[in-house]
Structure 1
């Protein structure tokens, strides 16, 4: 029951993140059609500033509540208020930086004078939104996961409505859209505060204290440092493109450099399912069993993630046209490059680090990734433009992150590095995907159909059909088991009906 509860909580958080990503994608699709390149780049660069420094501002404080809230009866409300006050103070410091000239500095670095105004309007956002980053950890720690789902979906839809209203009232005005986004931070804050205060009851002590704040900072800062490094490492490509390329190029790049929403759901769900058993196996010294469980999860995940990645790679130009209009077809370039990271997504090395109790390895990996990404991507962007940033990230990931993780995990599990990944399984998977993709593109050339949605649907139909046939040839056991599982569930649902 405990495992189911843990898995359910993780799935709720992952689904909430996916909902946030989908709303962001929808807003980007609307604004790409509504704004020209410069105005759209101004909006995205304004958000980038917060996303880049957000992990630093949070200081790991939201995660600290997972440690301080469970089991706390006497001063639970005080713990929550201490956490929120620290986050509000951190957001206020950054807002003060923007108001006191930081906006001018950033606008100059990004070669976009329009940022001088939008960043001033946006200065209120970190003050309002940063405290709400503790909403998820508070509700999960207090077993109010259903509340989190309603909060996330409701507030993100409110943001979508506010942005849409701003477009209707002030057309072609990025300042208005940025202002609507800042106001949405207030909506998120109001909802989050109500739910957090309801979830955390009053106790004997309800007033925040300096000692309590100090305790949270001592616990949270090491975690925050790792999160900060990983967050900056993930955003450094966009920062380099903003600093070294024209706003028009950044607008095209940022639409392609996006995280596929369903990936977070799949990887988070898989990690949640195997992590408890993985920890138990590792603590009992059953490293062979831990490795078997890990590889089994990787194989199953590969049958979902890799084919989806192949489909997205094949239809990338049509997908960008459908999402963002024909003006952003070139966004398929960086989008396809980033899809080259997908084969490594199915192997969740962090689960091994966590099972071994070595969170310090995550920090070391993040520091190395950040430094190498900046060093390698800078000359690539300078020489090859926006796609250089994408190639820099891919080079660092496959040249450093994966070798680092495999070396460390092989040492932790006491095995050879080549036994860490189902290499034969991955190879056959990639072969099937490549053959299906090439065949689908060739068949598409024989069909007279316009670009965009019709072309993407035809390509997708050919790709899925050919890939399914190849999978039944290459993976007969897995496909048969999946087919029987689906058929069994359908029969059960009919019986219940």
Structure 2
């Protein structure tokens, strides 16, 4: 791949750095699991769960709004005015969020049944706003062509996280110290983003705030907000159900087992770079070109994700022990279900629908998904126990993904069969299944000679990866070149 420029080149650059940062992130998690008690790690997980939910509610679709309004008006002053107005709106919404959390604080204490959470709620006030600002600033970075700087920033933050969390976990072992480290690093990121954007001519001035834009911004952003919020709640709903019916220790196990791992790393990197590109192409109504781009994106996303993810399933228990320590191995079955969820995640991406302004469709899909997920989570928990919510998430995500894929195809004046080669996908899936079966047989032999989880993973998963990459090398390169020719 001599040509590392263009959309695909930027995406691979982001993915390469993200692989490194993800490894550092997993190392950080392993340190936390090793040195924190299950109770402390459960408390830490509860704080992160609340931060995730509050962030998803208060973002109100504004990162998508930044992308939509700035990239459609970036050549005139209107783009600057939209940016300033959206950031001002985010600040107001976040302040309202803090007020609501303060009001419902007693109910949160009752729900989570954890007195240690009370003193940590201050981070639920601060971190969601910081995360939302970072998400919105990152969109502007991509829009001005600074995608690679985001990759470098991610690397530096991951190294800093690893160092600070190692010190905090090993020497101090206090959850609030770890959250203080996170807050400080988020603050540094925001300052860095603002400095670079100011130098590029993007400023946030009071005089650029146009309250008259509020109505049009909300008209686009609120349906997106409903989509993002309900998607996030659907993603975290299983943890809320586990919290309601069990304790902090069980939540600690479930949180690790259900953690999103970097199997979709290539896909997410392509989404980051392709979002403004597809927004422009679809805005110019170049539907044939958009179909070609989206088709190549779907195939390279599926291929890269299934190759990285499927090979972990035959050695799932060893992976759980290696990633999170032996005390979390009881969550292996949940871990496997979430690997399958990671594989099918590409189907439900909002890339095309958000680019074409079809946020109302996304809102409807997500609302139905949330309702179905809420019902299934409780029912399946009662039937299957702690694994039930994971099964519910898989079923709902599969259904929502199919609907999203169908609507995305329709938005480009196409059909699923035109943009997604199902026959080719099934062939490739069968090959992957066969390689996994061979890997499982190999693992049964390897564990007779080795007990170290790292060695078992290195031999079995390493052999699987080499075989899969050799078999699918031509296909990956083909789709890479297709995207790079945009």
Preserved CA contact (<8 Å) 2:300 2:476 = no
Structure 2 equivalent of residue 95 of structure 1: 98
The 1-side partners of 2:245 and 2:90 are apart by 32
Question: Which protein, 1 or 2, shows the higher relative CO under an 8 Å CA cutoff with sep ≥ 6?
Answer: 2
Structure 1 equivalent of residue 338 of structure 2: 338
The 2-side partners of 1:180 and 1:213 are apart by 35
The structural deviation recorded for 1:338 is: 1.6
Q: 1:409 to 1:177 in 2, by over 3 A?
A: closer
Deviates more, 1:423-432 or 1:243-252: 423-432
Preserved CA contact (<8 Å) 1:53 1:232 = no
Deviates more, 1:354-363 or 1:10-19: 10-19
Structure 1 equivalent of residue 483 of structure 2: none
Structure 1 equivalent of residue 224 of structure 2: 223
The 1-side partners of 2:148 and 2:465 are apart by 35
Q: Indicate the SS of the match to 1:385.
A: helix
The 1-side partners of 2:90 and 2:162 are apart by 25
Q: Is 2:310 aligned against 1:310? A: yes
The 1-side partners of 2:426 and 2:363 are apart by 31
Q: 1:479 to 1:245 in 2, by over 3 A?
A: same
The structural deviation recorded for 1:186 is: 2.5
Residues 192-221 of structure 1 deviation map (CA, whole Å, 9 limit, x = unaligned):
333333333569984535445565444433
Q: 1:346 to 1:120 in 2, by over 3 A?
A: closer
Structure 1 equivalent of residue 430 of structure 2: 431
What are the within-5 Å matches in structure 2 for residues 341-380 of structure 1? 341-345=341-345, 347=347, 350=350, 353=353, 358-380=358-380
Preserved CA contact (<8 Å) 2:291 2:414 = no
Structure 2 equivalent of residue 495 of structure 1: none
Q: Is 2:89 aligned against 1:86? A: yes
* CA RMSD after TM alignment: 4.0
Q: Indicate the SS of the match to 1:123.
A: helix
Deviates more, 1:62-71 or 1:351-360: 351-360
What are the within-5 Å matches in structure 2 for residues 51-450 of structure 1? 51-69=52-70, 70-71=73-74, 74=77, 79-98=82-101, 100-171=102-173, 173-201=174-202, 206=207, 208-211=209-212, 216-266=217-267, 268-269=269-270, 276=278, 283=285, 298-345=298-345, 347=347, 350=350, 353=353, 358-398=358-398, 400-405=399-404, 408=407, 421-447=420-446, 448-450=449-451
Q: 1:198 to 1:341 in 2, by over 3 A?
A: same
Q: 1:207 to 1:428 in 2, by over 3 A?
A: closer
Unaligned runs of 5+ in 1: 472-477, 487-497
Q: 1:417 to 1:441 in 2, by over 3 A?
A: same
Unaligned runs of 5+ in 2: 481-486
Preserved CA contact (<8 Å) 2:55 2:129 = no
Q: 1:78 to 1:162 in 2, by over 3 A?
A: farther
Q: Which is higher, the Rg of structure 1 or of structure 2?
A: 1
Deviates more, 1:386-395 or 1:69-78: 69-78
The 1-side partners of 2:7 and 2:383 are apart by 47
Preserved CA contact (<8 Å) 1:139 1:145 = yes
Preserved CA contact (<8 Å) 2:226 2:366 = no
Q: Indicate the SS of the match to 2:259.
A: coil
TM-score using structure 1 length: 0.79
The 2-side partners of 1:150 and 1:161 are apart by 17
The structural deviation recorded for 1:108 is: 1.8
The structural deviation recorded for 1:16 is: 7.8
Preserved CA contact (<8 Å) 2:67 2:139 = yes
Structure 1 equivalent of residue 484 of structure 2: none
The structural deviation recorded for 1:122 is: 4.3
Preserved CA contact (<8 Å) 1:334 1:387 = yes
Preserved CA contact (<8 Å) 2:231 2:366 = yes
The 2-side partners of 1:324 and 1:270 are apart by 29
Preserved CA contact (<8 Å) 1:252 1:328 = yes
